[in-house]
Structures are given as C-alpha cells and as structure tokens.
Amino acid sequence: MPIYIALGGMLDGIDSIPYFWPIVRTLPWLVGLYLIKSFFAGRSNGSERKMHGRVVLVTGGTSGIGEAVVRNLASRGAQIVLLTQHALSDPFIVEYIDDVRKDTSNHLITAEQVDLTSLHSIRTFATKWIDNAPPRRLDMIVLCANTLTPASGKIASTAEGVELNWQVNYLANFHLLSILSPALRAQPPDRDVRVLFGTCSSYLGGDLLHITQPGPTPKNSGTSSSISPTSFSPANAYATSKLAVTTFALAFQKHLSSYKRPDNMPANIKVLLVDPGYCRTPGMRRWLSWGSLLGLLLYLIMYPLWYLVLKSPDMGAQSFLFGAMEEGIIRSEGGVLIKECGIRKFGREDVESEEAQKALWGYSERMVQEAEQRGKVERDKVKRQEKDDKEEKEAVDEMKNYKEKVGKKGGGKVEGSRRSRKAG
C-alpha cells in the first residue's frame, strides 16, 4: 500500500496522497512534543556493574522511584533487603516481594519491618543487624523513603513528638546510619561500599538557623521537637528536611573517611547524594493535588501536561543506578551530588561548612535521645493500659465462671442448683 501511494504521488502530484497536508502540518507539533518529552525525561544511566551477591538495604522500595531502583538492581542479581513499615505477614508486602521475584528472576528479595516514623523501631532493627559475628555483608544502602505534606495539609508529628517530614526524610536516616556505621566500617577493604541518599533541589530553600545559630527559635525557621507544628509551612518543613539530609550526608562521609582501619587500608565507603528530579510518583501526585479530591480531579484533567514534563519513576531511578554502578565513583572521595547521571556542584556553600555539620550532628543526637525518651514513656503507658485491660478482662471472666459454678445467672435460680434441689 505505501508503494502505491508513493507512486501515485509521483505520477499525479502530492495532492493525490490522502491526508498529506494535514500530516505535514501536524508533524512539527509531534516532533516538538517528542523533543520536550525527551528533554524532561532526563538522561539514562549508561554504567553497568556486577551486582550478583551484593547485599543492598533499601528504604522506600515499595513504590515510586524506590520500587524502580529495587527492580533494576534485583534484575542485575543484587540481594535486596527491603525496610518496610508493613508487617512481614501483610498480604501487600508478601505479594509485592513475590511479584519482584518473578519479574526479575531473583529470589534473593527479603524484607524487614522498620517503621521510619519510630526511632525505637529503627534502633531495634539496626542493633539486631550489627549484633552479628562475623559482621554481616553490606555493600550498599539506598535511602529512597520520603514523605511530603501537601500545601493544604497540616503539619503532623510522630508518636515520639517529631515533625513528620523531619523524621522520615532526615532523622530516620541519621539514626539508622549512626547505628549501622560500625557495620559499614567492618566491610573488607576490597569491597566497594556505597550509601545513597535521595535528595531534592528544594533543599536550596531550606534553612537550619535554629540549629546553626542557637538562640530563640525564629518563626518559620525549621523543625525541632519543641517547636509548635504550626510555626512553619509544609513547603519549608520539606525543604529544611532535605537541607539537613544534604548537610548530614557530607558530614557522614567525613565521619567514615576519618576512621582508621585496623588493617591500615584506606576507607572504602562512598556517600552519594542523588537528585532524581521531578517524577510522577505518589508523593508528587499528593503534592500537586494538595491532598484533596478536587485537587486530584484537577491532576487527572491536567495529566497530559504532567506526563509531558514529569519523569517516570523508572527515569527518576536512573541517577540512583548511576550512583550504584558508576565505576569512576570508586576513585572519588565521595560526598558528591549526582543529578542527570552526572556529578554536579552543590547549590549552597553552607552544606559543606564543617561548623554547620557539627552543629547539626550534635543537635540530631540530642533530638534522638529526647524523642526516644518520650517514646518510652508512651510505650510504657500503652503497656500499662494493655495490662489493666487484660486484668479487667480476666476478672470479668473469673466472675462469670464463678457464677456459672454456683449455679447463678444474673442473680436468678437455675435448675440443678443447691437451693432448687432443697425446695424440691
């Protein structure tokens, strides 16, 4: 058919070709849309690395970019340990792991229950991980877990009294890595160990004045366990948490690099910050829809635009894969920012300030200690309440059994009781 149409166009003129001019007028628009889509989709990872046998801990690996990272690494043979808030018997996590195993032909996919909103849960898992002799193998930690409060939402706090964005996006990572640090340092010197932090360009708008400049906490300055949840906006809370992550990652690289190994070999751990860009993830959808049904309707109406200018989760994962597999990173000193599958400069100089890093580290340690103490008080209250409820239930059951034993039910006589036999 195309041959006959082309032949007709040559003999009878291009006007004889059906829909020729509409196609010519539409073609530039299609090419333009393709170029725009290609631009916003970003660069693909071109690096490869043998991942068979490597143990990778992943947070936020059940949805969005984290899920794409898990599937890509699993398809290359990595042993994935998912840190998830779901119970291991939860049908969702069971089916999810089963799907990943089937899709990637990799059965080395497991999960551990770790609630990132609970410092106690994090400590329980991390101490169990490092309490092993010889030290367990650990090649990589990928921190993709993230939360974002919609602009119309209210700032929420965890049961331990920590603002939610600060807890999940930053403090959970700080607490987890602080405990797992010995496990990372104990890895053999010939092992390429990497820690990947997920960050975001929003860190440029955050501030840590209440940490780096101690004193009366200025309004809209950031997050603290003692700050009222309404003293700053959701956008500021998110940006500040990402700024803290960026600052801590650079401090953590210095912390690991300064460790003197018993074998006198150089440090072999690289800390990398990864900015995946703006993607069509559940978190982004929640942000764009303002967490409301009306916003969700508008999001669906405008979906062609979001599809055009936002990356897919798989394309967002490309920078993580670059950080996980790029060979040249081995020769770097670590503590670098990766964006669009390349190393970029930081947009703020203060994240590299040693004074700011020390202030944040000390503040975070105090905050973890205070929050865990508050959490212990709350857990003790729950345990006492459960104990009281159990004792009350046992007392009720005991009274019920006693009444049945003496032949009474609600204070009335029943056949077979001693008084009924005497009356007979």
pLDDT in tens, 119-132: 999 999 999 999 88
CB 258 within 8 A of CB 181: no
Higher pLDDT, 140 or 421: 140
* Closest by Cα among 171, 164, 169, 117 to 145: 169
Structure tokens at 75: 């398809």
pTM exceeding the 0.85 threshold for the entire prediction: no
- Indicate if 171 and 260 belong to the same structural domain: yes
* pLDDT number for residue 407: 65
* pLDDT number for residue 235: 82
- Indicate if 26 and 85 belong to the same structural domain: no
Q: What is the largest CA-CA distance in the chain?
A: 122
Over residues 137-161, the mean pLDDT reads: 86
Cα–Cα distance between 241 and 223 in angstroms, integer? 8
Q: Is a pLDDT exceeding 50 seen at residue 405?
A: yes
Q: Is a pLDDT exceeding 80 seen at residue 276?
A: yes
Strands (DSSP E) along 290-373, which ranges? 336-339, 343-344
Q: Is a pLDDT exceeding 80 seen at residue 420?
A: no
Cα–Cα distance between 366 and 372 in angstroms, integer? 10
* pLDDT number for residue 219: 44
> What average pLDDT does the structure give for the chain?
84
- Indicate if 324 and 354 belong to the same structural domain: yes
- Indicate if 86 and 224 belong to the same structural domain: yes
Q: 148-169 b/e with 16+ CB inside 10 Å = b? A: bbbeeeebeebbbbbbbbbbbb
- How many domains, the chain? 3
* pLDDT number for residue 10: 65
Q: Is a pLDDT exceeding 70 seen at residue 189?
A: yes
The answer to whether position 49 is within a domain reads no
Cα–Cα distance between 208 and 359 in angstroms, integer? 10
The answer to whether position 297 is within a domain reads no
Q: What share of the chain is helix, strand, coil (3-state, %, to 5)?
A: 55, 10, 35
* pLDDT number for residue 315: 92
Which residues are designated catalytic? Answer: 242
Contacts 24+ apart (CB under 8 A), 290-296: 290/150, 290/151, 290/152, 290/153, 291/149, 291/150, 291/152, 291/153, 292/150, 292/152, 295/150, 295/152
* pLDDT number for residue 25: 79
The answer to whether position 16 is within a domain reads yes
Domain range for residue 20?
Answer: 2-41
- Indicate if 14 and 83 belong to the same structural domain: no
